[in-house]
Chain A
Amino acid sequence: MGLRRRQSGSDRQGKAPTVSFVGNPNVGKSTLFNALTGLRQHTGNWTGKTVENAEGFCTHRGSRYRLVDLPGTYSLAAHSPEERIACAYLGSDRADAVVIVCDATALERTLLLGLQVIRRFSRAIVCVNLMDEAKKRGLVIDLDRLSARLGVPVIGTSARKKADALRLMDGVEALLAGEEERPVTPDAPVDTAADYALLEEICQDCIHTDPTRRVLDREALDRFLMKRWVSLPIMGLLLLLVFWITLFGANAVSSVLSDLLFAALGWLERAAEAMSLPEWLTGPLLDGVLRTVAWIVSVMLPPMAIFFPLFTLLEDAGLLPRIAFRLDRRFAACRACGKQALTICMGFGCNAAGVVGCRIIASKRERLIAILTNAMVPCNGRFPALITVLTILLLALGAPQAGGLLPALLLALVVLFALGATFAASYALGHTLLKGMPSAYVLEIPPFRRPQIGKVLVRSLIDRTLYVLGRAVMVAAPCGLLIWLLANLRIGELSVLTRCTGILQPFSELFGLDGATLLAFVLGSPANEIVLPILFMIYENSAILLEPSGVGTLANVLFANGWTWKTAVCFVIFAVLHWPCATTLWTIRRETGKAGLTLLAAALPTAFGLLLCLLFTCVCRLFGI
């Protein structure tokens, strides 16, 4: 038995003591952390949300504390990347106190990690969270008795109550002020079976069931939802609903935002004129960089600001692991991991976010399959263009100026096509380049929980939306400059842009597209939102990106430039299946660490998309359509 000397907060003059939070995934650890710090930090109702340590400060009764939220982990024997982060941190001795967060409804399981931490760290405190849920299920937990048995302070909390979080900090304060050091055995061998035997006995001692409470059969809902003919329509409806709300809401906000931004831009232009700034400065800066950024913000922000919160709501309610569970067999057939369903869902929001999310997949082979195929589902950035072109397709086919539902249905069809492509590509990879047997994995299915709507809105807006938008703007600004240069530099009579279009024309025609469209996709690589604006700009022979306008105007321009319904179909196929945007590619490079794999991630969907376009064009020619 060894004694470990630890610097307490008061020893470190002027430095806030560090309190780290550990616990299993899904015990409400991050929610507690957020309640205390108010820091932007996202929590989700599934494993592997906190992929790196989140830090924040909290002031409690006049003292400042540095709080560290460690990734959810099941034990100190690290397996997955996020668990390794948690263990490395705990091993480095940087924490002055450790808060072990447990789930009152599954105390036995969630205390296993607690037991390991208690043995290793002298200043540990157990927080039994979700006491309200336990009470609902008729569980009465004797916290004093539990504290006596474990030999450390125990505080009961309900994650949603701020007062409980403050009581927890009182406990931490008392712990740090305490003089005596509890003896620890950091090097004792780990015996999980023996630990569970001990925990079973402790829990029997401390937990009583309230016989007057009727315990609901919580699995009945899941049993019902997992029926084949219940789950499919529900998943389909959810998909349709999420897209419809996103599109409908985004349209309204988008036009207001673009009016505002372009009005501001116009004001800036007039101001520049009044100050008689030279053309070589205002051209690239205002017409190039700022115009592109304004476009991106007005087109990209609204759908993201709606989609991400919706996605987070589904996540917090516990729906995503169930979708993963439901679709697992399909992924097993592809020799991939069922958790890929979760990363695909994230990909609908942003492919770069989806690629980062692949960290939750433990097997390297399966993680690569998920990363390489992630960009095959269209992200938010591609939806506006898809919807516009789908509406134009309907117009070309002679449909009346259709309302919201027909395009939404068509979009759902495109999404199904994208999912089909993802499965096909995963299958192909799993049986050729990334051959191997599906690895074993366990997916924990959390109980359904009522999401905290207010918090979800704020947090996902700040965390995901602004983060993704910030990155997009960073990439778009230099791209705006490039586009402006291409459109304004001339070789002979024609601009470089027009010359490039001419060069690409014969190649593009093979795939049912035209040179301008292909060039727009190339130039739109930094952010797919600007593909259509660039195309519009090339067709209109304009030197600057034009302001967003109605679908009708756009349709006329496209038809005047030789578009038919076939061009629209090829555009949609290629918009779904082409190289990932620059941000995603950069993320893939960072996540895989290999340039070759990044190249493959770009080549795979492009080849797939071109092949399908070629096939479609050939079939059309064959039948003389």
Chain B
Amino acid sequence: MNLSLASLPLGKAAEVVSVHHTPEMQIRLFELGMTPGCPVRCIYSAPGGDPRAYLVRGTVLALRNADAKSVEVRVWD
């Protein structure tokens, strides 16, 4: 099942399918490890659900939901 990263439920693991953002942000997200195939998991969020923190290749990255929307992920069964 494909979702946007912003709607990935808390605690659920998924893998990155694609990133569609401004070229600059796309490069940045790639560098930070969000390349296709990379496992991600949403581990916690700020009160109100935005921004959220994701575990990516052993590091914790915080993204605003507006930006996380541009990342398509496939949920692991």
Contacts and interface: CB of A to CB of B under 8 A. Distances in A.
A108 interface: yes
Interface in A428-448: 438, 440-447
B61 A192 contact: no
A227 B62 CA distance: 16
Contacts of B55: 219
Interface stretch (A54-62, A170-178, A273-281, A326-334): A326-334
Interface residues of A, number: 37
Q: Is chain A's binding surface mostly helix, strand, loop or mixed?
A: helix
B30 A192 contact: yes
Given A196-B35, A222-B44, A226-B44, A325 B64 contact: no
Nearest to A24: B59
A422 interface: no
Given A329-B46, A445-B60, A338 B35 contact: no
Contacts of B45: 226
A112 interface: yes
A424 interface: no
B53 interface: yes
Contact of B61 (A197, A231, A328, A443): A443
A77 interface: yes
B57 A109 contact: yes
Interface string A86-109: 000000000000000000011111
Interface in A195-235: 196-197, 219, 222-223, 226-228, 231
Contacts of B46: 226, 325-326, 328-329
Interface in B27-77: 27-33, 35-38, 43-48, 50-51, 53, 55-64, 66-67
A276 B56 CA distance: 74
A563 interface: no
Contacts of A107: 58
Nearest to B53: A445
Interface residues of B, number: 36
Nearest to B64: A332
A441 B25 CA distance: 8
B30 A443 contact: no
A75 B33 CA distance: 11
A193 interface: yes
A608 interface: no
B62 A328 contact: yes
Q: Which of B35, B56, B66 counts the most chain A CB atoms within 10 A?
A: B35
A193 B31 CA distance: 9
A192 B44 CA distance: 27
A79 B30 CA distance: 13
Contacts of B28: 74, 79, 440, 442
Contact of A109 (B32, B37, B48): B32
Contact of B58 (A79, A108, A112, A326): A108
A196 B61 contact: no
B75 to A, nearest CB: 19
Contacts of A108: 33, 57-58
A192 B35 contact: yes
Contacts of B20: none
B48 A444 contact: no
Given A196-B33, A328-B46, A79 B27 contact: yes
B17 to A, nearest CB: 12
Contacts of B12: none
Interface string A104-122: 0111110010000000000
Contact of A442 (B32, B38, B48, B50): B32
A326 B60 CA distance: 14
B60 A444 contact: yes
B61 A445 contact: yes
A613 to B, nearest CB: 35
Nearest to A110: B59
B62 A109 contact: no
A105 B58 CA distance: 7
Interface of A: 74-75, 77, 79, 105-109, 112, 192-193, 196-197, 219, 222-223, 226-228, 231, 321, 325-326, 328-329, 332, 338, 438, 440-447
Interface of B: 21-22, 24-25, 27-33, 35-38, 43-48, 50-51, 53, 55-64, 66-67
27 contacts: A79-B24, A108-B57, A109-B33, A112-B31, A196-B33, A196-B35, A226-B45, A226-B47, A231-B47, A325-B46, A328-B46, A328-B64, A329-B50, A332-B50, A332-B66, A338-B64, A440-B25, A440-B67, A441-B64, A441-B67, A442-B29, A442-B62, A443-B62, A444-B32, A444-B62, A445-B53, A445-B61
Given A192-B30, A440-B21, 11 more contacts: A77-B27, A105-B58, A109-B32, A109-B58, A219-B44, A226-B46, A440-B25, A440-B64, A441-B64, A442-B28, A444-B32
